[in-house]
Structure 1
Amino acid sequence: MIFGDFVYSTSLEIFVAFNKKEFFEALEQIDKKKSLGYLVGYIKYEAWHYFIDEEYCSKTPLLYFELFAERTPFCPNDMEYNVFYPKVVQKQNFTLYKNNIAKIKSAIKRGDTYQVNYTYPIELSTHCNYHHIFSQILKNQNTVYKAFIENQYEAILSFSPELFFELKDRQIIARPMKGTIKRDKDPVIDKQNKYFLQNDEKNKSENVMIVDLLRNDLSKIGSEVRVSALFKILSFPTLHQMISEIKASVDSVSFVDVLRALFPCGSITGAPKLKTIEIIQKLEKKPRNVYCGLIGVLHQDEMCFSVPIRTLYHDKRAKNLLLNVGSGIVWDSVANEEYQESILKSQFIFPQNDFLLVETMLVKNGKICNFSLHQKRILQSVRFFGFQKPDLSKIKIPHNAILRILVDRNGELYQENKSIAEITNFQITLASAPMDSQNDFLYHKTTYAPWYEEARKKIKNNEIFDCIFFNQKGELTEGARSNLVLKINNDFFTPPVNVGILNGVMRQKMLKSRKLKEKVLYKEDIYKAQKIFCINSIRGMVEVFL
């Protein structure tokens, strides 16, 4: 388990709660045992029900803590390649979002609330495992309060920059975060954006509302409550954020005392807190889960907890990941601007590298061979990566050539034509090291494929026809420019897509015509095969040799 700058190990005891009775029993045990090691874990947002004496049950833990004996400094894995690029399966459409903002403004007009932190989930699909996702996102957002927690129920990958509270040396500190603006690649514009955020009355108003709310909450357990910083700007790779800091002096307080006073954090509810929580519950419909709850550690008389914003969550009963986003809505909020801000807050998960989508096609006598299959594949990738749809009717078709089209994020189309060279080298090699099939880029044809770079240089220099790769399980996958076919016992087999391959156009055609069968193939199969073939839409089916 990871929280902040430490990895916690040697688990001694686990505390889990699914209902109100278990919740308060667990909190009592946590307070008793915090001197025995490091108690690391989380409480979900929906636990707010218990602090107003309501019943609430969950099929996943509302509270989960482990008592650890040891901790060591956390050293992030330096990943060689970007592998995580999830597909946005579902997000809230703007019409529903706009309608809910209108309802919030009606509540503000009635005097029920001054500010509502309205959020919604984005559903994400990926081939990647938790560790690869965590390591890659850390390159974008290595925050002070990062967390990696996996148990039998769920996985939580948090990259939160927001401190909920820290209790140390009889002082409690809260740092609410309110106010956001995007970064810009131009340093002059970026500096202007930062200045605007720090001086914008709307953002300052949102921030100070939450500062006042937290001052009031802290006064329930502390004295000498004071604002030690106001409207400071923190900068991250994709955005600038405004924070303030409130401090209070405290005598001996228990974990449950702090929670009764502060939970959930006012920065992710709004003001006044309880009435605003009711409004949120009516509008959001779905549970926030650990998002907007708390994650952190207790040790001896010290506590440190984040507000889990910028957090990926996976219920292991579900197929996809969830990433919740949101923003504070006040009277002068503009729905479109707030919606764009919420989308901006999701961008930290994506790799910070530009790439193009690619489709390579054979043109004969002025006609693109298998164009419908090529078109279908590139448009699938357009949807997966969230690119703008290109106008493929703008392709200028040559008479006889290899036509390579490229599409950028804005849907702009580029093309290259080259002549078809004769094959003079039919030699293939086997890769020296495995490739991980849990890589979102493997399933799409893009200009980002550094794992094939060395092999493609050899192909270009006519040293080999292709290099055949295999995955972490020893399963054969594909070549750097072609799909693999093995003839075994007079049948023709090709690896299935889920081993980590591009679904080539020629492969699709041959499977549909039943000339090929899908089968998981291993390295030893390539040596005992009767024949080896590389197939693609340019060369067709080419017999090759090791």
Structure 2
Amino acid sequence: MIPVQKGEALIHDAAEGHWLYFRNPLAVYSTTVHSEIPSLIRYIHKRVCSERLYAAGFISYDASPGFDKALPASQEVKTPLLSFSLYEAPEIIKELHFESSEKDNKELKWTPCISKDEYNKGFSAVKEYIRTGHSYQVNYTYRLEAEFNGDPRDLFCRMQRAQNASYGAYLDYGDMVVASASPELFFSLNGDRIMTKPMKGTAPRGMTTKEDRKIAQEFYHSEKNRAENMMIVDMIRNDLGRIARSGTVRVPRLFEIEKYPTLWQMTTEVHAQTDAEIPEILENLFPCASITGAPKYRTMEIIKELESTARGLYTGSIGYWGPHRRAQFNVAIRTAMMNRNEQTARYGTGGGVVWDSTMEGEYEESLTKTGILSRKERVFSLLETLKWTKEDGFILLERHIKRLEESADYFDYPCRTGDIKKALEKTSGSFRGEEAQRVRLLLDRDGEIHIEAQPLNEQDSKGLRTLKRADYPMSSRNPFLFHKTTEREIYKNLLKENPDYDDVLLWNEQGEITESCIANIVLVLKGIHYTPPVSCGLLAGTMRQEMLEQGVLKERVVKAAEIAEADEIYLINSVRGIMRVNYSE
């Protein structure tokens, strides 16, 4: 559990890679009046500079007219337009473990504030505005709400674990709490150097490392996403140009692809040098162009007209600034605001709509961005089970290592191959006698290696194994079917539900067979040995891959109804080898 209490704030300093823990507020400043914003920001800034204090807090999207009267925004002010607390220098926390309390087992029921039909109607209106030249891109969004009476720190921990956000923040105002797992930088200031890093464009993660990389490559080269990103970058370059020293605005990194647990995101860095103070920077940059659209003024009018609820903090900014011209502000996306008195939580989502956007595509993207709310942390290790014999050593070792490396890359686990091989060699050096060994290699999230070994009773592989088809399908979009991990509840439950059988045959929502609980499956049809392709939702077994490359097997989608036509059925894995089966429906 994170330590933050009422009045305190926790902000991740991405540049330094640590957390800033602000405690014991000296003063809290907030307002619900647009006209008070400029003078309040300047007063806070004056105290920061003269007393060497730090200001930490948030600015609502609806505060926009307070920085520029020409900017339209909702007047339905239910929460402060901005709120900042002043602190002495923050405590630096090098590393935080985002562990939830034991009570964090309740799944929140998030309800969109608009129906899909209402979203479609608004989307169509946006497309019409684009068609008639009012805007080139509109960031069209909506809100979700849930009943919430738990500990807000639990939700923040869940969000931060799911997103691993560079610009995470947690602010506790007592009756109101802000939890942000934002991956997007609004701006950072270090002396005279200012940087922005707008995000525009998302894509879902793949299921396997191969599919994941393919999606990333297609996403990187997508003309639609590049055009959207470039449009926002041009707007931000223009905004920065108003406060930058002449000729210092530059774009060192264009169209970078960043990986997150639930999605891929396209980002671009824009740098400049400036002598402007925080109040002037906010007056010229806020709100961030990536969450409005282009052109900013007219598009914000469209947003105000079409979005059914005020954005509030969503797409505003959370951050801090301090002495010596140091500041960091995020874009308040992937952000929830909780009201303890009303026992409610609110979260916003949406995306940038351009002329060739589709309603289904944008709606699905908006749902992808809510995955952070329901994605429960799974504490698991990557797993490889190997066979060792005195004659041959570890069977198919290089294939096991390669698969482990790919899964480690997919889940972002540190994987030191040299250390793994040394650990296996050390383990095998302790084996005595002629017995074959079954070796479990575990790789933890922090890169720790664990090895377990026990004698392998090869008699277990002899004779026919009884195999029954599962009573219900598996989802082919479950990533844990494609990677061997200690997260094996699916397989354990199937075996428990079918105690009279040695193994269970899995199939997917398309009626295609996939694998068994412990092995890949092979069906002999008209003399040809077929195994289902990985895309059906299964683990790419090492023996399976060996036999495919040797030409012994061919890949083919096999419907469950075709099993009865098979001349023979057998299972394969690298520990047990070939296992003949007696199949039952």
- TM bin, normalised by shorter chain, reads 0.5 to 0.7
Instruction: Determine the structure 1 residue equivalent to 2:354.
Output: 330
CA drift of 1:90 comes to 3.5
2:319 is equivalent to residue 296 of structure 1? yes
Instruction: Determine the structure 2 residue equivalent to 1:46.
Output: 62
Q: 1:407 to 1:34 in 2, by over 3 A?
A: farther
2:48 is equivalent to residue 34 of structure 1? yes
Question: Per-residue CA shift, 1:437-479, capped at 9, x if unaligned?
Answer: xxxxxxxxxxxxxxxxxxxxxxxxxxxxxxxxxxxxxxxxxxx
Out of 19, 22, 26, the residue aligned to residue 12 of structure 1 is 26
CA drift of 1:93 comes to 2.1
Q: Aligned partners of 1:103 and 1:248: how far apart in 2?
A: 37
Q: 1:84 to 1:198 in 2, by over 3 A?
A: farther
Q: Aligned partners of 2:176 and 2:332: how far apart in 1?
A: 15
User: Given that residues 40 and 65 in structure 1 are in contact (C-alpha distance below 8 angstroms), is that contact kept between their aligned partners in structure 2?
Assistant: yes
Q: 1:108 to 1:43 in 2, by over 3 A?
A: same
Partner SS state of residue 11, structure 1:
coil
Q: Aligned partners of 1:353 and 1:22: how far apart in 2?
A: 42
Q: Aligned partners of 2:344 and 2:79: how far apart in 1?
A: 16
For these two proteins, the number of residue pairs brought into alignment is 369
CA drift of 1:353 comes to 6.1
Q: Aligned partners of 1:146 and 1:84: how far apart in 2?
A: 23
Q: Aligned partners of 1:80 and 1:188: how far apart in 2?
A: 36
Q: Aligned partners of 2:193 and 2:129: how far apart in 1?
A: 36
Q: 1:52 to 1:22 in 2, by over 3 A?
A: closer
Q: Aligned partners of 1:80 and 1:100: how far apart in 2?
A: 40
Letter in 1 for 2:313: V
Instruction: Determine the structure 2 residue equivalent to 1:160.
Output: 182
Q: Aligned partners of 2:20 and 2:123: how far apart in 1?
A: 40
Q: Aligned partners of 1:53 and 1:353: how far apart in 2?
A: 44
Unaligned runs of 5+ in 1: 355-404, 419-546
2:339 is equivalent to residue 318 of structure 1? no
2:294 is equivalent to residue 271 of structure 1? yes
2:235 is equivalent to residue 227 of structure 1? no
When the two chains are superposed, the root-mean-square deviation of aligned CA atoms in Å is: 2.7
CA drift of 1:126 comes to 4.2
Question: Per-residue CA shift, 1:248-283, capped at 9, x if unaligned?
Answer: 1112x2222111211100000000000000000001
Instruction: Determine the structure 1 residue equivalent to 2:10.
Output: 2
Q: Aligned partners of 1:28 and 1:245: how far apart in 2?
A: 28
Partner SS state of residue 308, structure 1:
coil
Letter in 1 for 2:39: E
User: Given that residues 19 and 57 in structure 1 are in contact (C-alpha distance below 8 angstroms), is that contact kept between their aligned partners in structure 2?
Assistant: no
Q: Aligned partners of 1:51 and 1:407: how far apart in 2?
A: 55
Instruction: Determine the structure 2 residue equivalent to 1:440.
Output: none
CA drift of 1:39 comes to 0.6
Instruction: Determine the structure 1 residue equivalent to 2:430.
Output: none
Letter in 2 for 1:228: P
CA drift of 1:85 comes to 2.1
2:368 is equivalent to residue 344 of structure 1? yes
2:99 is equivalent to residue 78 of structure 1? yes
Partner SS state of residue 34, structure 1:
helix
Out of 77, 85, 93, the residue aligned to residue 58 of structure 1 is 77
Out of 310, 326, 331, the residue aligned to residue 287 of structure 1 is 310
CA drift of 1:57 comes to 7.0
Letter in 1 for 2:305: K
CA drift of 1:60 comes to 2.1
Q: Aligned partners of 2:474 and 2:111: how far apart in 1?
A: 21
Question: Per-residue CA shift, 1:25-81, capped at 9, x if unaligned?
Answer: 311111101232211001100011223327957342111001111312342343476
User: Given that residues 27 and 256 in structure 1 are in contact (C-alpha distance below 8 angstroms), is that contact kept between their aligned partners in structure 2?
Assistant: yes
Q: Aligned partners of 1:140 and 1:220: how far apart in 2?
A: 37
Question: Per-residue CA shift, 1:366-396, capped at 9, x if unaligned?
Answer: xxxxxxxxxxxxxxxxxxxxxxxxxxxxxxx
User: Given that residues 137 and 354 in structure 2 are in contact (C-alpha distance below 8 angstroms), is that contact kept between their aligned partners in structure 1?
Assistant: yes
Q: 1:12 to 1:353 in 2, by over 3 A?
A: closer
Instruction: Determine the structure 1 residue equivalent to 2:454.
Output: none
Question: TM-score normalized by structure 1?
Answer: 0.63
Unaligned runs of 5+ in 2: 1-8, 13-18, 379-470, 477-489, 500-585
Q: 1:191 to 1:15 in 2, by over 3 A?
A: same
User: Given that residues 83 and 132 in structure 1 are in contact (C-alpha distance below 8 angstroms), is that contact kept between their aligned partners in structure 2?
Assistant: no
Q: Aligned partners of 2:474 and 2:312: how far apart in 1?
A: 36
CA drift of 1:416 comes to 4.8
User: Given that residues 79 and 312 in structure 2 are in contact (C-alpha distance below 8 angstroms), is that contact kept between their aligned partners in structure 1?
Assistant: no
CA drift of 1:158 comes to 0.2
Question: Per-residue CA shift, 1:112-165, capped at 9, x if unaligned?
Answer: 100001110011234531011112222212212111112144211000010001
Q: 1:406 to 1:317 in 2, by over 3 A?
A: farther
User: Given that residues 149 and 343 in structure 2 are in contact (C-alpha distance below 8 angstroms), is that contact kept between their aligned partners in structure 1?
Assistant: no
Letter in 1 for 2:182: S
User: Given that residues 84 and 136 in structure 1 are in contact (C-alpha distance below 8 angstroms), is that contact kept between their aligned partners in structure 2?
Assistant: no
Q: Aligned partners of 1:154 and 1:10: how far apart in 2?
A: 17
Out of 271, 274, 281, the residue aligned to residue 247 of structure 1 is 271
Q: 1:161 to 1:194 in 2, by over 3 A?
A: same
Letter in 1 for 2:256: K
Q: Aligned partners of 1:169 and 1:231: how far apart in 2?
A: 26
Q: 1:306 to 1:347 in 2, by over 3 A?
A: same
Q: Aligned partners of 2:371 and 2:98: how far apart in 1?
A: 21
User: Given that residues 90 and 124 in structure 1 are in contact (C-alpha distance below 8 angstroms), is that contact kept between their aligned partners in structure 2?
Assistant: no
After superposition, residues 108-507 of structure 1 pair within 5 angstroms as 108-223=130-245, 224-251=248-275, 253-300=276-323, 301-352=325-376, 416=497
Q: Aligned partners of 2:151 and 2:227: how far apart in 1?
A: 41
CA drift of 1:408 comes to 7.8
Instruction: Determine the structure 2 residue equivalent to 1:472.
Output: none
